[in-house]
Chain A
């Protein structure tokens, strides 16, 4: 045996006992079909890289974060403002999370469209679905740890969903919250989930997932017409890998590395430019002037809940997620063989497109929440000055009534105000005074009835104001007989030509 350098001797000492060299070299240099060295195949490794980034930044955050109801919110503010680069650390972790959720979804879509879940990779896909659930679990529990208003209300909504489970709902809520209400014990539980339980499972599943990718080989580039058959696939794949193959390292791996680096850089840049999220206002159920929203990955759920008719809420909330998960798990078992190429799988492509569009639309809607009243509009949103330029004293009072009765919270004027009801800038062109009076008094169609809340004078003023809301060049709607039947009364409707101001 030739003399070895000391470093080689140390290496040999360990290798003799660990015997890792063989498996690692196998994994690194195993041949893969040349076509797998594609830029489309980099998302899985990027997701894992992001997970590692989350672990590192998470460990650092936990040095300062205090998981107690009284301290959590403060400790985030300390991180933001008192610890050098503490804010940047939070921003990295937060953006890392957004990117990880996004990349996991992209990875899944790519795998689905490339048919990579088909025989023999069914279990890889199944574990992938678990990884998706766990990643979303991390995002949700992480949001709770912020323990600000958004977290508080997001958790409240989550809990009210769980509580709808028949029979055991109450018990589940108790287990989740560590009591009947959101309190210190709740935070402790979510901290546990977020730093021990879910990351542990995530790591375990991820390693198994990667193990299977190495063992079964990276999916070959799907060719239209090359069908997967259980009897022949493995042999065909091996032929591809050996006859027109390249070693996984560096053949395909350098692209994974480059993409992961780019993604980490993108996280760093986003963190630098957009900063951490929150913490928003302190969590306090007594504060009702809030507009809480869940984090990005859950916005779409928020929209769907807002649009569900109450009667459908419970069934949809309880059944839809189960069906969706079952569908995901079933994919490789229902379609384990056959065509891989998306060019020959129109249903798959349409399904992906439909889900993507729906998701985008619901997420976008959650950004503007047109369904919820703007709680401060009544006292904060000024009326465009020119709307009141030729107003009579009664019209000005009508505008005061409109604000004071919080009509503005649901109805916008001049682009400001809620969007729950129609904008009223030109309501006078589509409703006569009588119709307006009727609508205000009796409500209907999500418009509350204000009859009991308004004095006759208030109604008079309100209608006077509403009937000035029409473009200058358009006559307001009117009932032709009105001027003749009403001549005596002091608040008579003037013929439209003479009425009020023109915004």
Chain B
């Protein structure tokens, strides 16, 4: 008995001839457009430390917390022209390299246990400015200075808070920024930054617009901001809740490299 293949043979021959034609055409196509061939390989990626493209660096290292395009993440929006006009390069660099002690902002510089070279940190700082800063973001107004002074007065701060903030921040205790667990996790500088530059992505107004509805009002003075931050700082429960963040200050910014390694070990040797 023969396998039934006779009728198929013509089809096969036809198919084979087409393939031969393709085979002949391929080298011609190659000679024509070698570098435009779909299979032409991309430049080989170097070691991760050779990446200095801002978009790549940002999306690999920052997007999870600061949002895909610097907005709408859980941590403050770096893509906020007012913020970028407020902060100086040295501070941007310092926070990125060394992290913000006692908060969830990790250290990224190799020198602080992170994965990024100092050239990569520079590229991030320059990139944020280039991509997101706008000239004259304050329209001529002069904001309070960026850095928090040590000498805020919590009692005055409480009054200022009631006057300027409570109008919007009057939800149940859990949902307020006065929640002690929340305050235990943010730094004074973080509170100050948000108070001055606002967070447009979550409708927190800047220092000039602290009125219900975010309307323009008398801007907060530098002293107001110092005092409000001192007041919020005084609400952190010093015993129960700050324990561990205080620890984190002692051993600055737990080495990310070590953490990653131990995570990969925890997962088992074979992969």
Q: Are A and B a genuine interacting pair, yes or no? A: yes
Chain A residues in the interface with B (C-beta under 8 A) = 34-35, 38-40, 73, 76-77, 80-81, 84-85, 87-88, 90-91, 148, 157, 160, 221, 223, 258, 261-262, 264-266, 268-269, 271-276, 278-282, 284, 287-289, 302, 305-306, 308, 310, 313, 369, 371-373, 375-383, 385, 388, 391-394, 396-401, 403-404, 406, 408-409, 420, 448, 454-458, 460-461, 464, 490-492, 494, 498
14 contacts between A and B (CB under 8 A): A80-B41, A87-B39, A148-B44, A273-B37, A282-B46, A289-B260, A373-B264, A392-B182, A393-B175, A396-B75, A406-B259, A408-B64, A455-B245, A494-B172
Chain B residues in the interface with A (C-beta under 8 A) = 1-3, 5, 12-13, 15-16, 19-20, 22-23, 26, 29-30, 34, 37-41, 43-48, 59-65, 67-68, 72-75, 103-104, 106, 115, 171-177, 179-182, 184-186, 240-245, 247-248, 257, 259-261, 263-264, 266-271
Q: A274-B39, A382-B63 known; A39 and B12 CB under 8 Å?
A: yes
CB pair B38–A221 under 8 Å, yes or no, is no
User: Taking each of A274, A287, A382, which has the highest tally of chain B beta carbons within 10 Å of its own beta carbon?
Assistant: A382
Q: A157-B270, A393-B177 known; A35 and B1 CB under 8 Å?
A: yes
CB pair A400–B184 under 8 Å, yes or no, is no
Q: A157-B270, A282-B47, A399-B74 known; A490 and B38 CB under 8 Å?
A: no
CB pair A87–B41 under 8 Å, yes or no, is yes
Chain A residues contacting B180 (CB-CB under 8 Å) are: 457, 490
Chain A residues contacting B173 (CB-CB under 8 Å) are: 490
Which of B15, B44, B104, B175 has a CB less than 8 Å from the CB of A401? B104
User: Taking each of B39, B64, B261, which has the highest tally of chain A beta carbons within 10 Å of its own beta carbon?
Assistant: B64
Which of A287, A373, A381 has a CB less than 8 Å from the CB of B64? A381
Q: In whole angstroms, what is the CA distance A310 to B241 when docked? A: 40
CB pair A275–B59 under 8 Å, yes or no, is no
Q: In whole angstroms, what is the CA distance A262 to B19 when docked? A: 6
Other A-B pairs, 9, CB within 8 Å; known A264-B23, A289-B260, A398-B74: A35-B3, A76-B44, A281-B48, A306-B268, A377-B64, A380-B59, A382-B67, A403-B64, A457-B244
Q: In whole angstroms, what is the CA distance A385 to B71 when docked? A: 9
Q: In whole angstroms, what is the CA distance A305 to B268 when docked? A: 10
Q: A282-B46, A383-B74, A490-B179 known; A268 and B26 CB under 8 Å?
A: yes
The SS class assigned to the A binding surface is helix
CB pair A379–B65 under 8 Å, yes or no, is yes
Which of B22, B23, B104, B259 has a CB less than 8 Å from the CB of A403? B104
Q: A88-B30, A275-B37 known; A77 and B61 CB under 8 Å?
A: no
CB pair A382–B64 under 8 Å, yes or no, is yes
Which of B104, B174, B267 has a CB less than 8 Å from the CB of A400? B104
Q: In whole angstroms, what is the CA distance A344 to B220 when docked? A: 90
Q: In whole angstroms, what is the CA distance A397 to B182 when docked? A: 7
Query: Within the complex, what minimum Cβ distance (angstroms) separates A461 from chain B?
Result: 6
Q: In whole angstroms, what is the CA distance A282 to B44 when docked? A: 9
Chain A residues contacting B30 (CB-CB under 8 Å) are: 85, 88, 272
Which of B60, B260, B267 has a CB less than 8 Å from the CB of A288? B260
Chain B residues contacting A157 (CB-CB under 8 Å) are: 270
Q: In whole angstroms, what is the CA distance A148 to B2 when docked? A: 51
Q: A264-B23, A394-B182, A404-B106 known; A287 and B47 CB under 8 Å?
A: yes
User: Taking each of A221, A268, A275, A397, which has the highest tally of chain B beta carbons within 10 Å of its own beta carbon?
Assistant: A397
Q: A281-B46, A403-B64, A457-B245 known; A372 and B267 CB under 8 Å?
A: yes
Q: In whole angstroms, what is the CA distance A287 to B257 when docked? A: 11
CB pair B60–A376 under 8 Å, yes or no, is yes
Chain B residues contacting A265 (CB-CB under 8 Å) are: 19-20, 22-23, 26
CB pair A373–B267 under 8 Å, yes or no, is yes
Q: In whole angstroms, what is the CA distance A136 to B30 when docked? A: 30
Closest A residue to B99 by beta carbon equals A404
Q: In whole angstroms, what is the CA distance A306 to B271 when docked? A: 7
Chain A residues contacting B60 (CB-CB under 8 Å) are: 376, 379-380
Q: In whole angstroms, what is the CA distance A274 to B240 when docked? A: 59
Q: In whole angstroms, what is the CA distance A395 to B58 when docked? A: 23
Which of A81, A278, A455 has a CB less than 8 Å from the CB of B244? A455
Chain A residues contacting B65 (CB-CB under 8 Å) are: 379, 399-400, 403-404
Q: A394-B181, A406-B259 known; A287 and B48 CB under 8 Å?
A: yes
Chain A residues contacting B184 (CB-CB under 8 Å) are: 455, 457
CB pair B72–A385 under 8 Å, yes or no, is yes
Closest A residue to B260 by beta carbon equals A375
User: Taking each of B41, B68, B179, which has the highest tally of chain A beta carbons within 10 Å of its own beta carbon?
Assistant: B41
CB pair B244–A454 under 8 Å, yes or no, is yes
CB pair A456–B240 under 8 Å, yes or no, is yes
Chain B residues contacting A377 (CB-CB under 8 Å) are: 64
Chain B residues contacting A73 (CB-CB under 8 Å) are: 44
Q: In whole angstroms, what is the CA distance A148 to B46 when docked? A: 11
Q: In whole angstroms, what is the CA distance A306 to B267 when docked? A: 10
User: Taking each of A261, A268, A380, A396, which has the highest tally of chain B beta carbons within 10 Å of its own beta carbon?
Assistant: A396
Closest B residue to A77 by beta carbon equals B44
User: Taking each of A278, A456, A461, which has the highest tally of chain B beta carbons within 10 Å of its own beta carbon?
Assistant: A456
Which of B1, B3, B47, B179 has a CB less than 8 Å from the CB of A281? B47
User: Taking each of A81, A302, A377, which has the highest tally of chain B beta carbons within 10 Å of its own beta carbon?
Assistant: A81
